[in-house]
Amino acid sequence: MHLSDRVTGLFLAVLGALAFWGGSRLPAVPGQDVGPAVFPMVVGGGLVLCGVLIAIGIGRSFEEAEVEPVEAHEGLARHLGDRRALAAFVPPALLLFYALASETLGFLPTAFVMVLLAALSLGASLRLAVIMAVGAPPLVHLVFYKLLRVPLPAGLLPAPW
């Protein structure tokens, strides 16, 4: 996910401009000059300025040279080869899965899938991945559900406690 400064700078500038525009359209407080619009407009303006400066490369001399590791990769990153940056998006995808599935599937099955897939993509052996996926979720459930009383969903497989 290494993007050029031009891309990130322009993205920030556009975001800032949108914030400025969006802020300026907010309704004012009656009888008051200063309302909810001021702060997003100031921040948006600042972002536009910074974004443009970044895009034209000012301040780059302060950055340290990036060292891209080229060593051997494990797990999913190795299978993906040149597209190994995609492997990094496995954790957010699994979190999304948790958000969508945990209500119906229940905590234990959802957590089993998450830990199993994450461990395998990190290059764990199947044995280790299964041990972790079977062992860790009940422990987490015990601590959060029993001790901290977080209402984790029971779903298909309720915990025995």
Query: Which residues from 43-62 bind another protein, rule CB under 8 A?
Result: 43-44, 46-47, 50-51, 53-54, 58-62
By CB under 8 A, is residue 72 in contact with another protein?
yes
Would you give the end-to-end CA distance of the chain in angstroms?
44
Q: What tokens does 76 get? A: 């999913």
**Helices marked H in 28-86 — which ranges?**
38-55, 75-80
Question: Could you tell me how far CA 117 lies from the centroid of its own chain?
Answer: 17
By CB under 8 A, is residue 69 in contact with another protein?
yes
By CB under 8 A, is residue 158 in contact with another protein?
no
Binders of another protein: how many residues, by CB under 8 A? 90
Nearest CB to another protein, comparing residues 148 and 160: 148
CA pair distance 38, 29, nearest whole angstrom: 11
Residues from 125 through 154 that contact another protein (CB under 8 A)? 128-129, 132-133, 136-137, 140, 144, 147-152
Residue 65: count of CB within 10 angstroms of its CB: 5
Please report which helix (H) or strand (E) contains residue 20, including its range. helix 5-24
Nearest CB to another protein, comparing residues 147 and 160: 147
Nearest CB to another protein, comparing residues 93 and 156: 93
